[in-house]
Amino acid sequence: MELLKQKITEQGVIVSDQVLKLDGLLNHQVDPKLTMEMGKEFAKRFGDAGVTRVVTVESSGIAVAFATAYELGVPLLFARRKKTLLAEPDMLCERVPSFTKGIVTDILVSREFISENDRVLFIDDIIANGDAARGLIKIIGRAGAELVGAGIVVEKCFQSGARAIRDQGIRLESLVRIASLDGGQITFAD
């Protein structure tokens, strides 16, 4: 997506050769127009997959997942990262390392909103090592639902997550692929 590449070039802040800060458009502030365009693009790519539910992990995936679900005309379900007082005891739960927080967190989904009748599209903001995606894919599997694919806004190709997911035979589509952040420069893969 050329517009997204342009915004990333303008607003991305390289924190290290591993981490790109995208607070201006994804991880703190949301660009609604751009986000709706991302949703349209994912909906176009997965439009023939019979998606019944879009699933993401709070919080940065929610805006783009919402846009995608809106375009596909299906509900959006976001996994919670913390148990609340209202959490049901038998929620589907996976423990995943958090790339940015450097800690392990639980991601939780209520069985009420996902079932074996679902065809699920997983949407997220950025993929690095793939831990968040792997956790959610396990939850989708445990719910008995079918994962039709993963749509990721920014794929960092120099980390192993996207490759590992594709190696499992899962269709993973990304809107922008970053080959490297070396030398204080964003190098796109294509």
Question: Cα–Cα distance between 147 and 135 in angstroms, integer?
Answer: 13
Question: Cα–Cα distance between 27 and 126 in angstroms, integer?
Answer: 10
- Which of the stretches 1-9, 34-42, 80-88, 129-137 binds ligand 5GP when contact is defined by CB under 6 A? 129-137
Minimal distance, residue 118 CB to ligand 5GP, in Å: 22
Angle between helices 32-45 and 2-11 (to 10 degrees): 140
Does residue 137 interact with ligand 5GP by CB under 6 A? no
Residue 59: cis peptide before it, omega within 30 degrees of 0: yes
Does residue 151 interact with ligand 5GP by CB under 6 A? no
Q: Binding residue per annotation — 26?
A: no
- Which of the stretches 2-10, 63-71, 128-136, 142-150 binds ligand 5GP when contact is defined by CB under 6 A? 128-136
Q: Binding residue per annotation — 69?
A: no
Copy the structure tokens of residue 157.
């190709």
The residue among 4 and 20 lying less far from ligand 5GP, judged by its C-beta, is 20
The residue among 12 and 52 lying less far from ligand 5GP, judged by its C-beta, is 12
Burial bucket for residue 65 (CB in 10 Å: 0-12, 13-18, 19+): buried
Question: 88 with 109: CB under 8 angstroms?
Answer: no
Which residues sit at the interface with ligand 5GP, rule CB under 6 A? 19-22, 27, 60, 99-100, 124-133, 161
Binding-site entries for 5-phospho-alpha-D-ribose 1-diphosphate: 128-132
